[in-house]
Structure 1
């Protein structure tokens, strides 16, 4: 995970993060539980994901795909 100034980090709901990844929220939770995706931040009872984590995950998938070609 790339750490940046957390005051400027945009936080997404899990459904929004899942939508950006074109997966279901349930699949996103599976990735989190398997430690394939960073754990969400807890703000009270709400869970949020940094937009940067979604971007980093997409880049990792693309690199893995390209390495196999």
Structure 2
């Protein structure tokens, strides 16, 4: 069975969001949101991810310095 390009795109998007630890319930909300709501959600998720990356980077530097 072949999938449509929209189905492939949706699957890739869901996979990416799950890898970023976005909850399934929030992904469902995103899928039914209007464009403005989607932009707001994406901006919040990006901000949250940036904070997590900074925290992980700080921990990595600390761990890298432990002898």
Return the structure number with greater strand share: 1
- TM-score band w.r.t. shorter chain: 0.3 to 0.5
TM-score normalised over the length of structure 2: 0.40
The higher-RCO structure (CA 8 Å, 6+ apart) is 1
Look at both structures and tell me which one has the larger radius of gyration over its CA atoms: 2
Return the structure number with greater helix share: 2
TM-score normalised over the length of structure 1: 0.39
